């Protein structure tokens, strides 16, 4: 009866990691003059694919102070 607890732990960990990555992408996009909200949404929806796309797109953009 307690088997659902075994599945809940990894789901919560995955959710926390996804939120941390999305927040990092948001801050990084804002610091480079891009729309942080747009990239946050892309990463939340697309997951690791969205992160990979952001890492490719950000390569040529300098940090704006």
Q: pLDDT digits over 9-36, tens only?
A: 888 999 999 999 999 999 999 999 999 9
Percentage of the chain lying above the pLDDT 70 cut: 97
CB 50 within 8 A of CB 43: yes
b (16+ CB within 10 A) / e for 5-31? eeeeeeeeeeeeeeeebbeebbebbee
pTM metric for this prediction: 0.83
Please give the structure tokens belonging to residue 50. 């969205």
């Amino acid at each position: 009866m307690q088997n659902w607890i075994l599945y809940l732990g990894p789901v919560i960990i995955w959710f926390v990691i996804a939120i941390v990555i999305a927040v990092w992408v948001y801050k990084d996009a804002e610091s480079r003059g891009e729309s942080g909200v747009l990239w946050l949404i892309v990463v939340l929806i697309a997951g690791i694919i969205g992160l990979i796309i952001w890492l490719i797109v950000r390569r040529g953009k300098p940090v704006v102070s």
